[in-house]
Amino acid sequence: MNNVGYDGTKCCSGDCFLIAINGQETVVKIETLLSLNCGDDLWKLLGKGYLYSFHQDEHGQISLNYWTGFTKVEKFLGNEVTFFPSENILRKVLLYDFGNGLLTVVDYLRPWNQALYVPIVPVYPEKGDMLLVQGGGPSDVWYGHVQDIDFRNKSVDVYFFIESRRCPNVFVRESRHRGARNTVSWRSVIGVADGHWSGPGMWTKDL
């Protein structure tokens, strides 16, 4: 019957899902789905399955992967059967063997606003670009004006610019001495800054 389809997420026996229990997300492995007759031609669709326990760190917090935010669960299922209404099913997940008796919960259908970090798209700098260069800390970002590009070593030569003390959002050369030119690896470049030249040696950031 080629004309039969569905609108939603397909649930099969053995699939793993995040479900809501008392307002908390929990990982369950579905054993089967049941149609329950509640009388007066009212039917309720229930899921039957077994829960995975979230792994906790030494501080009692659920373990999270630093970059993805994916949680970890204990590898072995609990023995207690759980029943839940089908509307409590949130989204499908994949479980990946992490080792040490743990599984990583690959939550590939989660909303983007739940990600811990904004994905960074690699930048291929061009001569004349004003680059955003990652410094030592997460909030430490430098402005580097590209002078030359080394494609073999994947690096750029830049002059660093700093914000003027007199004019906010206006950037000037940090230093003009002979050793002011710096070599930066492409891996440290996190983006191209938005702005324009407003005068000789003066670059203004677009707001």
**Of 80, 112, 144, the domain-final residue:** 112
Domain holding 138, by residue range, is 130-205
**Of 112, 140, 158, the domain-final residue:** 112
Q: How many CB atoms lie within 10 A of CB 158?
A: 24
Residue 54 included in any domain:
yes
Going by pLDDT thresholds of 50, 70 and 90, the confidence category of residue 177 is confident
pLDDT digits (tens, 9 = 90+) for 95-148: 999 989 999 999 988 876 666 666 667 788 999 999 999 988 777 899 999 999
Predicted local distance difference test score (pLDDT) of residue 65: 83
Residue 166 included in any domain:
yes
Q: How many CB atoms lie within 10 A of CB 116?
A: 11
3-state secondary structure of 78: coil
Residue 119 included in any domain:
no
- Tell me, yes or no, whether 107 and 161 share the same domain: no
Instruction: Considering only residues 5 and 37, tell me which one the structure prediction assigns the higher pLDDT.
Output: 37
Residue 7 included in any domain:
no
Task: Find the helix or strand (DSSP H, E) in which 183 lies.
Answer: strand 181-185
Between the two ends of the chain, the Cα-to-Cα distance in Å is 57
- Tell me, yes or no, whether 139 and 192 share the same domain: yes
Q: How many domains does the chain have?
A: 2
CA distances from 138 to 81, 89, 133, 134, 190 (A): 45, 36, 11, 8, 11
- Tell me, yes or no, whether 95 and 62 share the same domain: yes
Instruction: Say how far apart CA 99 and CA 194 lie, in whole Å.
Output: 44
- Tell me, yes or no, whether 70 and 158 share the same domain: no
- Tell me, yes or no, whether 137 and 200 share the same domain: yes
- Tell me, yes or no, whether 154 and 190 share the same domain: yes
Residue 1 included in any domain:
no
- Tell me, yes or no, whether 91 and 46 share the same domain: yes
Of the listed ranges 33-42, 84-93, 101-110, 160-169, the one predicted with least confidence: 33-42
Cβ-contact 71, 54 below 8 angstroms: yes
- Tell me, yes or no, whether 24 and 108 share the same domain: yes
For the entire predicted model, the pTM comes to 0.54
**Of 112, 139, 156, the domain-final residue:** 112
Predicted local distance difference test score (pLDDT) of residue 40: 80
- Tell me, yes or no, whether 93 and 157 share the same domain: no
Residue 177 included in any domain:
yes
Residue 118 included in any domain:
no
Q: Is 75 left (phi over 0), alpha (psi -120 to 50) or beta?
A: alpha
- Tell me, yes or no, whether 21 and 105 share the same domain: yes
Instruction: Say how far apart CA 104 and CA 93 lie, in whole Å.
Output: 10
pLDDT digits (tens, 9 = 90+) for 43-66: 888 999 999 999 998 888 898 887
Residue 106 included in any domain:
yes
- Tell me, yes or no, whether 95 and 151 share the same domain: no
Percent of the chain with pLDDT over 70: 93
* DSSP-derived pairing of the beta strands 89-99 and 16-21: antiparallel
- Tell me, yes or no, whether 138 and 107 share the same domain: no
Per-residue DSSP letters for 125-166? --TT-EEEEE-SSTT-EEEEEEEEEETTTTEEEEEEEEE-SS
